[in-house]
């Protein structure tokens, strides 16, 4: 592990240059450019807020604030957006960079790292607007807001491991990519983001918590909505999920990294 980290550090210039190129490529050819990064999630948030908060009269139990549902929704939806973007791009990164892997000698693990850095940069741009909304509405969680960052780091590591595992499998079994797209739709609606856990029958809670993203989303929502810091149990649980994901991802990558080039 130490050797891998040192090798990646040696290629930090390549990683940052790739992140910058990826960022420019995605937005320089469009008329609105980087504005699309904000428009797409903002439109989704407005639609969900209108449908669930106004039309269906969704409420947060024990919270009468007019902004409560919007804060609850944004906390979950933005974190989910980061997870989905990183996972979707990581599962395809080895296939999309097949020519680069064949022609250039570099640590292949740099590719999912580039995706992770690019995804989190996009996330911070969107999340900064959410923070401005919290400040202007008088609902900024204060010093407790800092708890978001370690949780975010753990989520990035969890998604990195999961994405690498799926990315390796996707090289050999192309159906994996399609299955992940379908699974993400079920996982999204199986995560209390646009609805609260309170409306789910008690017997179903066990099955809801089998979805690992529920544990991450719940922590974000608690920090932003009730200014509640994650407990030691929460952190241990999230770290266990990230560690298991990374171990599986690294194992599959190390075992099949040589075979991937031949397969591609």
H helices of 35-143, in order, are 35-48, 68-96, 98-103, 110-137
Bridge partner list, 60:
63
Q: Give the least confident one: 16-30, 63-77, 174-188, 203-217.
A: 16-30
Query: What is the rounded average pLDDT of the residues 51-72?
Result: 71
Query: Whole-number mean pLDDT of the chain?
Result: 85
Flag the least confident range among 10-14, 165-169, 185-189: 10-14
Tokens, residue 175? 């159906």
What pLDDT band is residue 12 in, cutting at 50, 70 and 90? confident
More confident residue, 59 or 144: 144
Answer yes or no: is pLDDT of 143 > 90. Answer: yes
Q: What is the pLDDT of residue 50?
A: 72
Q: Residue 80 and residue 101: Cα distance in Å, rounded?
A: 30
Distance of CA 136 to CAs 112, 129, 222, Å? 36, 11, 19
- pLDDT for the residue 217: 96
What band does 264 get if pLDDT is binned at 50, 70 and 90? low
* 176-197: average pLDDT: 91
* Residue 17's pLDDT band (cuts 50, 70, 90): confident
216-258 pLDDT, tens per residue? 999 999 999 888 999 999 999 999 999 999 999 999 998 888 7
Q: Over pLDDT 90: what percentage of the chain? A: 42
Say what the pLDDT of residue 258 is: 78
Q: Residue 46: what pLDDT?
A: 75
Contact 155, 83 (CB under 8 A): yes
* pLDDT given for residue 80 in this prediction: 95
Q: In the chain, helix, strand, coil percent, each to 5?
A: 80, 0, 20
Query: pLDDT (tens digit, 9 = 90+) per residue, 84-122?
Result: 999 999 999 999 888 877 776 777 888 999 999 999 988
pLDDT at residue 31 above 60?
Answer: no
Please state, in angstroms and rounded to a whole number, the distance separating the CA atoms of residues 181 and 163: 12
């Amino acid at each position: 592990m130490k050797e891998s980290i040192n090798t990646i550090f040696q290629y930090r210039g390549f990683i940052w240059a790739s992140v910058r190129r990826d960022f420019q490529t995605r937005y320089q050819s469009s008329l609105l450019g980087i504005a699309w990064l904000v428009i797409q999630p903002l439109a989704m948030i407005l639609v969900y807020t209108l449908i669930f908060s106004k039309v269906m009269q969704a409420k947060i139990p024990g919270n009468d604030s007019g902004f409560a549902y919007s804060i609850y929704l944004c906390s979950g939806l933005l974190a989910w957006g980061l997870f989905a973007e990183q996972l979707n791009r990581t599962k395809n990164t080895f296939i999309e960079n097949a020519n680069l892997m064949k022609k250039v000698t570099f640590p292949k693990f740099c590719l999912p790292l580039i995706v992770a850095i690019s995804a989190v940069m996009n996330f911070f741009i969107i999340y900064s607007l959410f923070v401005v909304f919290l400040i202007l509405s008088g609902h900024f969680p204060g010093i407790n807001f800092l708890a978001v960052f370690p949780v975010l780091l753990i989520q990035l590591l969890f998604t990195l491991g999961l994405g690498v595992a799926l990315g390796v499998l996707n090289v050999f079994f192309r159906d994996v990519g399609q299955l992940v797209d379908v699974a993400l739709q079920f996982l999204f609606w199986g995560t209390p983001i646009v609805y609260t856990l309170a409306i789910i029958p008690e017997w179903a809670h066990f099955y809801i918590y089998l979805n690992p993203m529920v544990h991450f989303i719940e922590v974000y929502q608690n920090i932003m909505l009730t200014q509640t810091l994650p407990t030691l149990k929460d952190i241990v649980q999230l770290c266990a999920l990230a560690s298991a994901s990374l171990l599986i991802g690294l194992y599959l990558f190390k075992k099949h990294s040589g075979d991937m080039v031949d397969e591609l």
